[in-house]
Amino acid sequence: MTDVVLDKAPVNDTPPPPSSTLRQPRLPRWAPLGIGALSAALGSGVGLVAGLESRIQWGLIAALLYVVINYTLATLVEGSRQAKDRLATSVVWVCFLAAVVPLVSLIWETVVRGSKVMGVDFLTHSMNGVITLQEGGGAYHALIGTVEQVAIASIIAAPLGLLTAIYLVEYGGGKLAKAVTFFVDVMTGIPSIVAGLFVLAFWILYLGFDYSGFAGAMALAILMLPIVVRSTEEMLKLVPNELREASLALGVPKWLTILRVVLPTAIGGITTGIMLAIARIAGETAPILLLVFGSPSINNNPMEGAQSSLPYYVYEQWKLGNTASFDRAWAAALLLIIFVMVLNLVARAIASWKAPKSGR
């Protein structure tokens, strides 16, 4: 239906140029770059002259100038259709740069400010007995807490998620499977603080247990479960059906077919999915705040007593509000980013290493 619209537009809009030459006048190829440099210079110039403090304004002015200059020049030289095209292109580029700047700044600030106190001491000491204004101290206790809580959460959520995905793909089809699929979607959208509140209501207020790393781990497991189910489901669906049929035709029971044929085929993707889920929950602060409560000293036992965790440590140190604690917060944030990024990179490496061999 849209085809009708398509073949009309170009014909209608290009009457004048063909009369003189076959080629429309075009801006030179370096025009966008040149205009970009010009508007960047103009933007900073205006910013300097007007005495604007914030660089954000300089950038916004330059971006606006870039779009406007691009559009007017193109209108003058190339005509309105090309000008609209240039307008769209320049807006898309500006959007991209506008998004890249804060994200790069985020990484840059964290690396620069975080590397100040990062070191062996930071990684091997807790905050026990460190006065808030004092420099020193470290995140060892938080690291221990994060590792234990995330490990417990994975031990709960990974098998449960894996089996649920197997149910959906290999046994599903009924009403129950439909309900599970729907609620996995719903679960993906649960805010982390709500998961924390649920465990608070159930584990601490109803069953009467105390704050502990385990309580936090349960909330993390709730957050991790739908991610694992989703990614595993996608991977199992990619396993070619011929493999299942061949195995079943040889008389292999279904459960052995799943364990020995289907899972090994999809194991790369499944591992990737689980690692990405771990990376996701490792950075969750809200449930930890509600359920683990935070502690400055080393507590190796996740089942009893308050613990800390890296994201919680960042929040706690930020809240103390002095230079020394800000430095520690940045260092812990850097540690957290490194942790998450390494997990992501390894997961993606596994994904491409174990990539579908049937494709070749």
Partner 1 sequence: MSTDTAPASPPPPPPSPSKSAGSISSGQDTRPGDRVFAGLARGSGIILLVVMAAIAAFLAWQATTALTENEGNFLTTFEWDANADPPVFGIAVLAFGTIVSSVIAMVIAVPIAVGIALFISHYAPRKLAAPLAWAVDLLAAVPSIVYGLWGALFLVPHVTGLYEWMDDYFAWTGILEYNGGAARSLFTVGILLAIMILPIVSNVCREVFKQSPKMQEEAALALGATRWEVIKMSVLPFGRSGIISASMLGLGRALGETMAVATVLSPSFLIEPSLLDPGGGTFAQNIAASFKEASAAGIGREALIASGLVLFVITLLVNGLARLIIARRKEYSGANA
- The residues, ordered by sequence, that sit 6+ positions from 82 with a Cβ below 8 Å of its Cβ are 24, 26, 74
Q: Should residue 46 be labelled a site residue for partner 1 when binding is judged by CB under 8 A?
A: no
**DSSP 3-state assignment of 293?**
strand
CB atoms inside a 10 Å sphere around CB 58: 20
**DSSP 3-state assignment of 53?**
coil
The percent helix, strand, coil of the chain (3-state, each to 5) is: 75, 0, 20
Binders in 181-220 for partner 1, by CB under 8 A: 182-195, 197-198, 200-202, 205-206
Could you tell me which residues are beta bridge partners of residue 305?
212
Q: Should residue 289 be labelled a site residue for partner 1 when binding is judged by CB under 8 A?
A: yes
Q: For residues 181 and 298, which CB has a smaller minimum distance to partner 1 in the complex? A: 181
326 close to 313: Cβ distance less than 8 angstroms: no
> In angstroms, what is the minimal distance from the CB of 128 to partner 1?
20
Question: Which of residues 118, 144, 225, 324 is near partner 1 by CB under 8 A?
Answer: 225
Binders in 330-359 for partner 1, by CB under 8 A: 330, 333, 336-337, 340-341, 344, 348
Residue written as token pair 């290999």 = 170
Q: For residues 40 and 263, which CB has a smaller minimum distance to partner 1 in the complex? A: 263
Q: Should residue 246 be labelled a site residue for partner 1 when binding is judged by CB under 8 A?
A: no
Q: In what helix (H) or strand (E) does residue 140 lie, and over which residues does it extend? A: helix 140-166
Q: For residues 13 and 300, which CB has a smaller minimum distance to partner 1 in the complex? A: 13
Alpha-carbon distances of 90 from 35, 190, 321, rounded to whole Å: 10, 37, 42
* String marking each residue 259-288 x if it binds partner 1 according to CB under 8 A: x----------------x--xx-xxxxx--
**DSSP 3-state assignment of 212?**
strand
Report the helix count and the strand count for the chain, using DSSP H and E. 15, 0
> In angstroms, what is the minimal distance from the CB of 267 to partner 1?
17
> In angstroms, what is the minimal distance from the CB of 254 to partner 1?
5
Q: In what helix (H) or strand (E) does residue 107 lie, and over which residues does it extend? A: helix 80-114
Q: Should residue 121 be labelled a site residue for partner 1 when binding is judged by CB under 8 A?
A: no
Question: Which of residues 41, 48, 95, 320 is near partner 1 by CB under 8 A?
Answer: 95
Q: For residues 285 and 299, which CB has a smaller minimum distance to partner 1 in the complex? A: 285
Q: For residues 45 and 253, which CB has a smaller minimum distance to partner 1 in the complex? A: 253
The torsion angles phi and psi of 293, rounded to 5 degrees, stand at 80, -20
Q: For residues 108 and 300, which CB has a smaller minimum distance to partner 1 in the complex? A: 108
Cα 28–Cα 30–Cα 33 angle in degrees, nearest 5: 135
Q: Should residue 15 be labelled a site residue for partner 1 when binding is judged by CB under 8 A?
A: no
Binders in 128-187 for partner 1, by CB under 8 A: 159-161, 163-164, 166-173, 176-177, 179-180, 182-187
Q: How far is the C-alpha of 201 from the C-alpha of 166, rounded, in Å?
A: 31
> In angstroms, what is the minimal distance from the CB of 129 to partner 1?
22
Q: For residues 117 and 168, which CB has a smaller minimum distance to partner 1 in the complex? A: 168
Q: For residues 164 and 231, which CB has a smaller minimum distance to partner 1 in the complex? A: 164
Q: How far is the C-alpha of 121 from the C-alpha of 139, rounded, in Å?
A: 9
